[in-house]
Chains A and B, each alone.
Chain A
Amino acid sequence: MKKYTKSHEWVEVIEGNKAKIGISDHAQEELGDVVFVELPEIGSELKKGEAFSTVESVKAAEDIYAPVSGKVTAVNEELNDHPELINEDAEGKGWICEVELSDLSELDDLMTEEEYKKFIEG
């Protein structure tokens, strides 16, 4: 199940304490054509609420904030050659990195899909 932040990132636990992180479909739509994603380094530590990546479109550069804390175990290398994956499938093939969550309870503060939908409409 995906959880969302107010700054438009999503996080989804895939198994145990492993989770994938990306930006929401709404965020990619706002950004427009994504041309570059600055990926974090594998092994680096993310801290909830801190910027760890940048997603660039033609006319904007947006910082991406960690929805949860944890250690980066994998990054989506595909994005280096195909940043457009974020436009095509932001919440699937356009994932940014995979982390080992250090504190599962951090997920509790995040919005569910339904809550997020309301949030962006509101």
Chain B
Amino acid sequence: MKKYPYLPHTEEDIKEMLKAIGVESIDDLFVDVPKTISPEKLNLPESMDELTVRKIVEGLAKKNKFLNEMKVFLGAGIYYRYIPAVVYHMASKPNFVTAYTPYQAEVSQGTLQALFEYQTMICELTGMEVTNASMYDGASALAEAMLMAVRISKKPKVLLSEAIHPEYKKTVETYVKPQGIEVEYFAYDKETGQVDIEDLKKKLDDKVGGVAVAYPNFFGIVEDLKAIKELLPEKVPFVVAADPIALAILEPPAKFGADIVVGEGQALGNFPELGGPGFGFFSTNMKHVRTMPGRLIGKTKDVDGKTGYVMILQTREQHIRRSKATSNICSNHAHSAVMAAIYMSTMGKEGLVEVAERSAKAAHYLAKRLEEKGFSLAFKGPFLFEFVFNAGQDYEEKWHKLAERGILGPLPLSRFYADMKDKALAATTELTTKEDIEALLEAIA
């Protein structure tokens, strides 16, 4: 009998087990199953030894160019940031990796406390009172936020800023439309890149049950949350999709009266991994906590009076409320959230600010140097570490050539906007050096 490293059964074991069960063969246990296939007929390779598998997967890995071998100016929702070794070493601990949802709280205190601390850290960044234990990603978190906004307001339409990440907008549409919720967009000001206040005003009718903006927006521009919030009727939930690193130096959305704050958390110590897994963070205030989707961890005491943590307000969730639950979410991105908590512990109060400031300084220096080389910025609004510039009609072609030279250039916006063929979205981080910037300038000049 062929042996597999993850399967313990010897022939003797199987014989004894079948005897105890009272059947002749394993096949007898499959009596109810129609045999639609057999291993012989399956068009799959035979099992392989570990070394062979390693060689195959390493072979595939070699067919990529990796961020850490290139000069990177690509952002748009996923960022190439420094992850200290301690972060992934701690996150790879087997009891974090191979545990599941903390259904048995007594033997899951590590998970529960780590998530409780994660919730606290995100509350610190967003300024909100409560944060759930994570969503899949920023886009689905925003979609769930719009559904929640409608649960609160009971109105049939949501308004989104045009300047939200295009893939987030599409995700929101996919999620809300089947529930009969209409999606409308308000424009951004072509000069500043910020929300067009007049257009928003015009579109705020009495059917609107939620308004969302990004902070900073997809073009890197920092929206004036104060001016936007002032326009909104009191009962219309204000949703902000924020970048967590930007929140280290931007006034938290809570200060401007946000009702729900969401975002993609990858930049907090998670690897880019081709876009996933990162995680979505989701914050709100206690008065709305019962309409919030996702798992939530709370602090309590055990029978001996010892502090401990448990999942709370579970009656919101699908395993209890079924079709009436606030969301269908079950598995979330707990491990990615804990990795973010480890990152935030490592970077701390000063480190996150330093990361944000360095990233912003690099972007502003790059912008200045581009202007010196004859390029112009597309928008005049305030930005941090991402901005759009006019890169020339042939930029997309050039972008592919840059990659050949080891430069992952600013994202050609032709990817998302037909009328932005000449525009590119540049991103910098604390990893960007002066040398990188000069290399980019030389290559695109």
User: Are chains A and B touching directly in their complex (CB below 8 angstroms)?
Assistant: yes
| A13-67 interface with B by 8 A CB criterion | 35-36, 56-61
Distance in angstroms from A36 CB to nearest chain B CB is 7
A62: nearest chain-B partner, CB-CB: B315
Decide if B320 touches A36 in the complex (CB within 8 Å): no
Decide if B290 touches A59 in the complex (CB within 8 Å): no
Q: How far is the CA of A10 from the CA of B290 in the complex (A)?
A: 27
**Contact A61-B290, Cβ < 8 Å, known A36-B315, A56-B315:** no
- Interface size class for chain A? under 10
- B54 contacts chain A at the CB level, 8 A cutoff: no
Q: How far is the CA of A57 from the CA of B314 in the complex (A)?
A: 9
| A46-90 interface with B by 8 A CB criterion | 56-61
CB neighbours (8 Å) of B314 from chain A are 58-59
Binary flags per residue of B147-160, CB closer than 8 Å to A gives 1, else 0: 00000000000000
Distance in angstroms from B321 CB to nearest chain A CB is 6
CB neighbours (8 Å) of A56 from chain B are 315
Distance in angstroms from A39 CB to nearest chain B CB is 13
CB neighbours (8 Å) of A60 from chain B are 315, 320
Q: How far is the CA of A57 from the CA of B321 in the complex (A)?
A: 12
Distance in angstroms from B254 CB to nearest chain A CB is 24
Decide if A36 touches B321 in the complex (CB within 8 Å): no
CB neighbours (8 Å) of A36 from chain B are 290, 315
CB neighbours (8 Å) of B315 from chain A are 35-36, 56-61
| B296-339 interface with A by 8 A CB criterion | 314-315, 320-321
Q: How far is the CA of A96 from the CA of B125 in the complex (A)?
A: 39
Distance in angstroms from B317 CB to nearest chain A CB is 10
CB neighbours (8 Å) of B321 from chain A are 61
Q: How far is the CA of A51 from the CA of B244 in the complex (A)?
A: 42
Distance in angstroms from B311 CB to nearest chain A CB is 10
CB neighbours (8 Å) of B290 from chain A are 36
Q: How far is the CA of A59 from the CA of B103 in the complex (A)?
A: 12
Distance in angstroms from A34 CB to nearest chain B CB is 11
Distance in angstroms from B290 CB to nearest chain A CB is 7
Distance in angstroms from A33 CB to nearest chain B CB is 12
Distance in angstroms from A32 CB to nearest chain B CB is 12
Q: How far is the CA of A107 from the CA of B290 in the complex (A)?
A: 34
Distance in angstroms from B405 CB to nearest chain A CB is 60
Q: How far is the CA of A60 from the CA of B314 in the complex (A)?
A: 8
CB neighbours (8 Å) of A59 from chain B are 314-315, 320
CB neighbours (8 Å) of A61 from chain B are 315, 320-321
Distance in angstroms from B101 CB to nearest chain A CB is 15
A54: nearest chain-B partner, CB-CB: B315
Distance in angstroms from B225 CB to nearest chain A CB is 31
Q: How far is the CA of A35 from the CA of B315 in the complex (A)?
A: 10
A56: nearest chain-B partner, CB-CB: B315
Distance in angstroms from B151 CB to nearest chain A CB is 13
Distance in angstroms from A44 CB to nearest chain B CB is 15
CB neighbours (8 Å) of A57 from chain B are 315
List, sorted by A's number, 6 A–B pairs whose CB atoms are closer than 8 Å: A35-B315, A58-B314, A59-B320, A60-B320, A61-B315, A61-B321
The residues of B with any CB-CB pair to A shorter than 8 Å are 290, 314-315, 320-321
* 8 tightest Cβ-Cβ pairs between the two chains A and B: A61-B315, A56-B315, A61-B321, A61-B320, A60-B320, A59-B320, A59-B314, A58-B314
